[in-house]
Amino acid sequence: MSQAREPVQIRQTDSRTAILESAERAFADQGFGGASIRAIAREAGVNQAMVHYYYQNKDQLFRSVVARRSGQVNDRRNDALDALFQDGIPGLEELMEALLRPTIEIGHDDAHGGPAYARLIVAFNNAADERSQNVAKEYYDPIARRSIDAMRRVVPALGKAEAVRSYLFAISLALSLMAKTGRAARLSDGLCDDSDTEETVANAVAFACAGIRALANKNNIQNRQSG
Amino acid sequence: MSQAREPVQIRQTDSRTAILESAERAFADQGFGGASIRAIAREAGVNQAMVHYYYQNKDQLFRSVVARRSGQVNDRRNDALDALFQDGIPGLEELMEALLRPTIEIGHDDAHGGPAYARLIVAFNNAADERSQNVAKEYYDPIARRSIDAMRRVVPALGKAEAVRSYLFAISLALSLMAKTGRAARLSDGLCDDSDTEETVANAVAFACAGIRALANKNNIQNRQSG
DNA sequence: ACCGGCCTTAATCAAACGTTTAATTAATGG
DNA sequence: CCATTAATTAAACGTTTGATTAAGGCCGGT
């Protein structure tokens, strides 16, 4: 009688993702320049040549880290957008929650290295260097454009420039909530927890929606005055 | 007849500040780990040993870069707070403009390396590593605490935790406006200019105030329900 | 003229860096 | 069972890193 046969590929898969997760932590904590491939390999428990074997070089290793996570987040955001607009036009709160919740939740997922990715994504979100912008363009611009269009359908008074700013504001909000720098806890003497995902989402959505409506009104008034 | 005597320190100051400004650009563009002292010295037009002569090591060089700029910003913010509360309690819009304007303006000051510092400060504002948090604690926590207290005086309904979050949100907004990553321009097909300082300040203040009031209301409602 | 304190220099150090190589081991398919 | 492929290893490559050293130039004061 034959045993249930396993895929037998014990060796490969472990190393590949171990490197990826170690790299995620290293890039998040020390930046691209500060992270060293040697340390990444050491912490992953693999030979340092394995990093190049699987990912060629440091640049592509970085891209691979971002690619994996951005897929996880943006698939959820795209699905949520599909569902929301299927039955007409949703409310602004629903829309913003659909956009921000996946980002916040993955950052709060301690068991799967969420906080490390949160710190990483925050760092490169506001970075102006060519590598960061290329990665942002490839992995985050498509969902950004779709989100901005959705925001303008939900709040018609929102001009394109205001919508872009609002989107970037909202993302920046959500990211600042994910990156547990310890500063919020320090400044609030421990009152700000930020481990409560639901409260975090609620705060981000409330703040963002109010801000967006304010920009929409401002835009409206300007148009009325000048038109 | 004696000539008007100058402080005579012609030699020193040039190299000192040349290093500081070169370092500011390097740290902003490549991060702490990615920036090299050799490149910093080269771009400053000095021997690389001069960097250690004036700033001992890379860590203190970084601190010196932040110290200089944070002084410029926070002196202005402190003065504005003093003036605002001299004649009673100001409005929220006035308060937030006092807090955000200096930050935004220094980031827009192209002639004096503002954009470089903007990118630098954005990068380390959301960083969780020990060095960044130590620098933040030393150079930005005092004004942060004072600002948070001021916000609660202006909006009494704002709880402490909400005030801390609001402050961090608002700063995060202003910073995302300063860091000209090119992403806003790209996503808006050039519509978002961000070089217009007044419009930038107005947008940030409007968005932040609306968000803060939303969090204050949310807090109020919760208290009423649970009390 | 000479001294003493800044400022500046070129040269050097050990350590760490990213990357490549050649050789070894383990699994797969015919 | 052998040939092929994939995974892994130790070692080394040349370069760059942060930091230190010793030597000298500049300049006002005496």
Instruction: Tell me the pLDDT tens digit for each residue of A135-186.
Output: 999 999 999 999 999 999 999 999 999 999 999 999 988 888 777 777 888 9
Q: Are residues B89 and B170 in the same domain?
A: yes
**Confidence bin at A101 (pLDDT 50/70/90):** very high
Domain tally, chain A: 2
First to last CA, chain B: 80
Does A51 lie in the same domain as A132?
no
Using the 8-state DSSP alphabet, how is residue A74 labeled?
H
Pair A113, A16 in one domain: no
Mean pLDDT on A122-137: 86
Q: Which nucleotide is nearest to B10 (CA to C1')?
A: C7
Selected residues 78-97 of chain A with any CB under 8 Å from a CB in chain B: none
Q: Does residue A36 reach within 7 angstroms of strand C, measured from its CB?
A: yes
- Whether B81 shows a pLDDT value over 90: the answer reads yes
CA-based nearest distance B222→chain A, Å: 12
DSSP assigned state of A35: -
Residue span of the structural domain in which A39 resides: 11-56
The DSSP string of A112-177 is GTHHHHHHHHHHHHT--SHHHHHHHHHHTHHHHHHHHHHHHHHSTT--HHHHHHHHHHHHHHHHHH
**Cβ neighbours, 10 Å, residue A18:** 17
When pLDDT is averaged across residues B28-34 and rounded to a whole number, the result is 92
The residue with greater pLDDT, B128 or A150, is A150
Same-domain check for residues B145 and B183: yes
Which nucleotide's C1' is closest to A54 (Cα)?
D7
Whether A167 contacts chain B with CB within 8 A: yes
In-domain check, residue B123: yes
CATH number of the domain bearing residue B80 = 1.10.357.10
Same domain? For B216 and B142 the reply is yes
Q: How far is the CA of A19 from the C1' of D6 (A)?
A: 18
Predicted local distance difference test score (pLDDT) of residue A119: 87
User: So what's the pLDDT on residue A224?
Assistant: 55
pLDDT digit string (tens) for A22-42? 999 999 999 999 999 999 999
Identity of the residue in B133, B161, B169 whose CB atom sits nearest the CB atom of A176: B169
Q: What is residue A124's predicted lDDT score, i.e. its pLDDT?
A: 78
| Shared-domain flag, residues B37 and B97 | no
User: Are A185 and A113 contained in the same domain?
Assistant: yes
Query: According to the model, what pLDDT value does residue B10 have?
Result: 44
The answer to whether residues B82 and B126 belong to one domain is: yes
Distance CA B145, CA B183 (A): 32
Span A80-106, average pLDDT = 95
Q: How far is A1 from chain B (nearest CA, A)?
A: 56
Is there a domain that residue A82 lies in?
Answer: yes
With respect to residue A135, please indicate whether it lies within any of the assigned structural domains: yes
Task: Measure the CA angle with vertex A146, ends A144 and A149; round to 5°.
Answer: 110
Q: Is A210 found in the same domain as A103?
A: yes
Segment A215-225, tens digit of pLDDT? 998 766 665 55
**For residue A1, is it within any domain?**
no
Q: In this structure, what CATH number is given to the domain that contains residue B33?
A: 1.10.10.60
Q: Same domain, yes or no, for B138 and B217?
A: yes
* Number of other CB atoms surrounding residue A196 within 10 Å: 11
Distance from CA of B123 to the nearest CA of A (A): 6
pLDDT digits (tens, 9 = 90+) for B176-215: 887 777 888 899 998 887 778 998 899 999 999 999 999 9
- Is residue B4 in a domain? no
Angle between the A58-86 and A141-154 helix axes, to the nearest 10 degrees?
Answer: 20
Q: Are residues B213 and B119 in the same domain?
A: yes
Among B44-58, B128-142, B192-206, top mean pLDDT goes to: B44-58
Euclidean distance between CA atoms A54 and A170, whole angstroms: 36
List chain A residues with CB under 8 Å of B136: 181, 183
**Do B116 and B170 fall into the same domain?**
yes
